[in-house]
């Protein structure tokens, strides 16, 4: 709980520092991927229509199905009548047309193909209705409390809403744990069906913003223009979410404003000990020492001015009593910037060390007595 509160306070401080930043869209969020820190928010929990940004969840569940072995990129999907009946953006699948998961992912990521999104949903869950249940279940698991999904595409449906905050959460889950999605979201131009179907990415950031990595656009008459735009520079990836922008150009301008603010102001530092951590003696252990390692929280999001003046201090226990479990706290590495403490990272046991049994202890004593004689 203490670590959570510390992280929460840090996130709040970083958010407040962006108070002077202005975007024209009524709802927006800027989040850093690795730590999940929100750097900027504007009416972030407003429940709004996401249009095709919905497909971030469709992509997430598809990638999770691939990881689970339920699908592969080479799996061939046969398009159903229902999938082919979708309106809006599509590649005009014909009923019973066959296409690989790889090509359907490309169509969803590049041109926001509704027909392919539904075909993938049916391949994952058997029907779009069953897939939507999975979407809402996954949203709940991710803490997306502003979200109710009604379909896999984002086509207008009463009650189909989410928020900029929730879009950032699911976007982070996708790019953090499924980096292969970049193979599709970074495509600017490509084709399907042996070159017969040309694809041009709806996300103009891919062509016109340095470091752009994705992610998904969306627009309808009622949702207006939405975007989850991601970019990476110097090892830090940011997620900019724009909701209900008045024009397509404005959503990209707002996203660029947020991303450029983040890259110009913050740096992501991975903390490693300046000196090797020495083994710690273990009392009554099956081995004499245990090796300490850094625990969680080694990625620090810092203002660039602070990132250049970091120093470390280490406190370690003099010894540990067996049994020692991997992950047991053995000390703390404190990171400071000038006089300010910016992080306290736990130092933990990197291995298990069991306690010696009576027979093992007796054998040791005999050995000592024998050697001593």
Joined together, the tokens standing for residue 76 give: 């061939």
CA 146, distance to chain mean position in Å, is 18
Q: Which residues contact 220 (CB under 8 A, 6 or more apart)?
A: 49, 51, 88, 154, 155, 156
Torsion angle (degrees, nearest 10) of CA 258, 260, 264, 269 = 80
Widest CA span of the chain, in angstroms?
92
Mark 308-322 as b/e (b = at least 16 C-beta within 10 Å). eebeeebeeeeebeb
**Catalytic pick from 52, 171, 219, 228?**
52
Interhelix angle for 55-67 vs 128-141, to 10°?
Answer: 90
Residue 47 falls in the annotated catalytic set: no
Residues 6+ apart with CB under 8 A from 14: 37, 38, 39, 266, 301
> Considering 80, 112, 228, 240, which one is annotated as catalytic?
112
Give catalytic status of residue 197 as yes or no. Answer: no
d(CA 339, CA 357): 48
Catalytic annotation present for 319: no
Identify the active-site residue in 33, 55, 244, 256: 55
How do beta strands 197-200 and 266-270 pair?
Answer: unpaired
Pairing of strands 310-316, 38-42: unpaired
Question: Looking at the annotation, which residues are catalytic?
Answer: 52, 55, 112
């Amino acid at each position: 709980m203490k670590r959570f509160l510390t992280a929460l306070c840090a996130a709040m401080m970083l958010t407040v520092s962006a108070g002077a930043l202005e975007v024209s869209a009524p709802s927006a969020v800027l989040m850093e991927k690795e730590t999940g820190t929100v750097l900027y928010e504007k009416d972030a929990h407003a429940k709004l229509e996401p249009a095709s940004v919905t497909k971030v969840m469709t992509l997430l569940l598809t990638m999770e199905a691939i990881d689970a072995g339920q699908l592969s990129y080479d799996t061939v999907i046969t398009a159903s009548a229902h999938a082919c009946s979708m309106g809006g953006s599509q590649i005009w699948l014909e009923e019973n047309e066959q296409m690989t998961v790889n090509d359907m992912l490309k169509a969803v990521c590049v041109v926001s193909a509704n027909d392919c999104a539904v075909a993938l949903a049916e391949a994952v869950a058997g029907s779009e209705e069953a897939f939507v249940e999975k979407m809402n279940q996954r949203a709940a698991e991710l803490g997306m409390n502003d979200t109710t999904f009604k379909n896999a595409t984002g086509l207008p449906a009463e009650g189909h809403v989410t928020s900029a905050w929730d879009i950032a959460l699911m976007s982070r889950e996708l790019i953090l744990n499924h980096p292969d999605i970049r193979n599709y979201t970074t495509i600017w131009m490509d084709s399907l069906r042996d070159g017969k179907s040309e694809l041009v990415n709806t996300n103009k950031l891919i062509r016109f913003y340095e470091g752009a990595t994705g992610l998904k656009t969306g627009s309808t008459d009622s949702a207006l223009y939405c975007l989850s735009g991601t970019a990476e520079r110097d090892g830090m990836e940011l997620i900019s979410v724009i909701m209900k922008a008045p024009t397509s150009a404005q959503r990209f301008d707002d996203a660029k404003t947020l991303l450029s603010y983040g890259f110009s102001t913050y740096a992501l530092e991975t903390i490693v000990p300046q000196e090797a951590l020495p083994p710690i003696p273990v009392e009554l252990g099956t081995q004499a020492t245990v090796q300490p390692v850094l625990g969680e929280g080694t990625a620090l999001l810092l203002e660039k001015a602070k990132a250049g003046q970091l120093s470390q201090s280490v406190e370690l226990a003099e010894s540990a009593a067996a049994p020692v479990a991997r992950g047991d706290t053995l000390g703390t590495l404190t990171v400071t910037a000038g006089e300010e403490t910016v992080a306290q990272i736990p130092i933990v046991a990197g291995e298990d060390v069991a306690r010696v049994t009576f027979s093992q202890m007796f054998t040791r004593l005999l050995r000592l007595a024998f050697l001593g004689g």
